[in-house]
Amino acid sequence: MANTSKYTKPFKCPECGQGRLTDIPINADWRCYVTYYPQNLFYLADSIPKCPKCGKEIGVKRFATPELAKEESQRLLYCMRR
């Protein structure tokens, strides 16, 4: 496998904080990413990588701006509270 660490950075698993869930571009803004869990939210995600540490599958989606990602996070919280 080619060493791509110069161009990407690891996106850590939000569940355990240890595993490398996926790689994102080195210049990507963390705030543009939203994670989806539990499984009934996976249909909203772009990809569903599996954490190599804890084995959990977490949906990940990138938004164009931090504002859009924040809106989505708030919408998700609202959905989960109902």
Enumerate binding residues for Zn ion (CB under 5 A). Answer: 13, 15-16, 19, 51, 53-54
Which residues, including other chains, have CB under 8 Å from residue 56's CB and lie 6 or more apart?
Answer: 13, 15, 16, 37, 50
Closest separation in Å from C-beta 2 to Zn ion: 24
Residue closer to Zn ion by CB (options 37, 63) is 37
Minimum Å gap between C-beta 23 and Zn ion is: 15
Give the contacts of 10 (CB within 8 A, at least 6 positions apart). Answer: 20, 21, 22, 23, 24
Kindly tell me which of 15 and 23 has the beta carbon lying closer to Zn ion: 15
